[in-house]
A and B are shown apart, each in its own frame.
Chain A
Amino acid sequence: MSDPAITIDSLEKYFPPARSGWRAYVQAFSASTVPALCGVSFDVQRGEAVALLGTNGAGKSTLLRILATLLLPTNGRARIAGFDPSRDPSAVRRHLGYHAGSDLGFYPRLTTRENLRFFGRLNHLPDSYLKTRIPALAEQFDVRDSLDRQVRTLSSGTVQRLSLLRALLHQPEVLLLDEPTRSLDALAARDFRRFLKAEILGRQGTTLIFASHTLPEIEYLADRIALLDDGRLIDFDSPAELKARANAATLEDAFSRLTGHGAHLLEEPAS
């Protein structure tokens, strides 16, 4: 078997306690005592899709942000494509696409094409490549009509699609997605899942880790699920094995039985 695409080894992350008022000024100097990840370990094979499943505060985004080189772990190690995000972040970024699940992150007064070209060039993609790659992905994401419009005129769902598109521009080996369909309407979410499954996972063989609260999405995309609760890895297996182990008919029931939480906790509060 070849080396795993991602190795996560006894990863721990502690944050300083959140402070308000004047104490917020010294937060950066406070000791990190609040656990967010507690000794999480698992491997992700090349071309595999792994879902991070857990309630809010389970540690999903923290784990993704450590892998994306945006956070430093307190203890433990991770490796992406053989590189450590803490020690060799620029090498990791060469192999990585990251989408934070936000509909922010673009320059509102630049057009979609200008924004995507700018970020593509920062990933050292040549202009000639971007000239064909941007329209091709825009077609795929159904945002071709938005290419020459300023980003400030676009809906939040469209901007989120652009953010996903940006993460794919440089054809990364590893894709990290934090709630990728959160702001998409049902049809756009369905199309995106199909695109991920057929093109990114199927044809390109990209390795995917994604956080999601949408159980049908997880069952459709994930080869294995990392079940997180309060920063701990409760279980790590395929959806079918998790259901069998919990003696549950649905993933929802399996989640409830394995974590002791009701599956309603997975649903995002209406915003």
Chain B
Amino acid sequence: MMLRSFRDLALFFERDLRIASTYRAPVVFELIEALFGAALFYYAAHFVDSPQLRAALPQGSTYFAYSLVGFIFFDYLYASLDAFDRSIEEARDSGTLEPLLVTQVPLPVILVGSAIYPFLVTTLRIAVYLAWGVMLFHFPVSAANWPAALVVLLATLLAFSGLGIFSAAYLLIFKRGNPAKWFFVGISSLVGGMLFPVSILPDWLQFVAHLNPVTYSLDAMRAALLAGARLRQIAPAVAMLLLFALILLPASIWSFSWALRRTKITGTLSHR
């Protein structure tokens, strides 16, 4: 049963890979975009400096490295919020949703399978950003603890996926883009610690920041990548991410099942 589900998930990845391979130019554009993005942060970082900021950065780190990690891992938030509902939206608009739903693969597998490719592309984009940063702009990787970074990445994916599945449930019911999603992205870009440490925010915004999984993800990722933190040091942040996952994943799967059942009652499953 488990093996079959993995095979089904692989089919969706293969489908998306084949579709993507029919568009060749975007790969080149992604590489160039990542180069410009890394350069932007490198030069902007030269003009951003303050004693307060330096004190808040991980030891031995620069603002360029700090902001680049924040920016590229924020991509994961976008990917996880976008991947699930986009897969539903694309299937609905192309008319493939109903043919998929009468196959023997349950909708949760369709949902997760369709998210694998976007997550992998996001991971590759992050790798390209980091590679440009290392090759051209002295991004420090000598101290990085890669296994710890991988643990943070996995915990982040689990925590963020719950948000994405909520977003897909919203789309099933309301049919159009999720305003809560963009509100969450907006709030997270302000208080999640993408471009500056959460510690420089007013107390009440710091409180909001600590209710947001993005804050823990970025803190732990920077600690692993820039300061070479050991697993024990990032364990509290990883535990918080897993706690978010423990709450968000079952709740989001329940809400998605409820939304699917509701659309089968109202006959609006394939409505746009």
- A residues contacting B by CB (< 8 A) are 15-16, 24-25, 27-28, 30, 32, 36, 62, 65, 68-72, 74, 90, 93-94, 96, 98, 100, 102, 104-110, 114, 118-119, 121-124, 150, 163, 166
Contacts and interface: CB of A to CB of B under 8 A. Distances in A.
Contact of A98 (B102, B105, B173): B102
B266 interface: yes
A28 B175 CA distance: 10
Given A28-B173, A107-B94, A119-B99, A70 B104 contact: no
A93 B102 contact: yes
Nearest to B19: A109
Given A70-B269, A72-B261, A93 B98 contact: no
Interface string B86-103: 000000001110111111
Contacts of A123: 103-104
Most A-side CB within 10 Å, residue of B98, B104, B105: B104
A166 B99 contact: yes
Interface string B246-272: 000000000000000111111111000
A107 B15 contact: yes
A104 B264 contact: no
A109 B174 CA distance: 28
Contacts of B15: 107, 110, 114, 118
B268 A27 contact: yes
In order of increasing CB-CB distance, the 7 nearest A-B pairs are: A104-B95, A122-B103, A105-B95, A109-B22, A105-B99, A72-B264, A28-B173
B104 A100 contact: no
A166 B96 CA distance: 12
A101 to B, nearest CB: 11
B11 interface: yes
A118 B11 contact: yes
B4 interface: yes
Contact of A68 (B8, B95, B102): B102
A93 B95 CA distance: 19
B104 A93 contact: yes
Most A-side CB within 10 Å, residue of B105, B175, B269: B105
B22 A70 contact: no
B236 interface: no
Contacts of A107: 15, 19, 94, 96
Contacts of A90: 104, 106
Given A25-B174, A118-B11, A122-B8, A71 B106 contact: no
Contacts of B14: 118
Contacts of A96: 102
Nearest to B103: A122
Contact of B102 (A25, A69, A102, A106): A69
B269 to A, nearest CB: 6
A65 B266 CA distance: 12
A104 B15 CA distance: 17
Contacts of A24: 175
Nearest to A68: B102
Given A25-B174, A27-B268, A108 B102 contact: no
B46 interface: no
B24 interface: no
Nearest to A96: B102
Interface string B203-243: 00000000000000000000000000000000000000000
A122 B104 contact: yes
Most B-side CB within 10 Å, residue of A27, A114, A118, A122: A122
Interface in B159-176: 173-175
A111 B95 CA distance: 16
30 contacts: A15-B267, A16-B266, A24-B175, A27-B268, A28-B174, A28-B266, A65-B267, A68-B102, A70-B98, A70-B269, A71-B265, A71-B269, A72-B261, A96-B102, A105-B94, A105-B98, A105-B99, A106-B94, A106-B95, A106-B96, A108-B94, A109-B19, A109-B22, A118-B11, A118-B15, A119-B103, A122-B100, A122-B103, A122-B104, A123-B103
A265 B8 CA distance: 44
Contacts of A70: 98, 101-102, 264, 269
Contacts of A74: 265
Nearest to B175: A24
Contacts of A68: 102
A28 B174 CA distance: 8
Given A107-B15, A121-B7, 11 more contacts: A27-B268, A28-B173, A70-B98, A71-B267, A90-B106, A94-B104, A100-B99, A105-B94, A106-B94, A114-B18, A122-B103
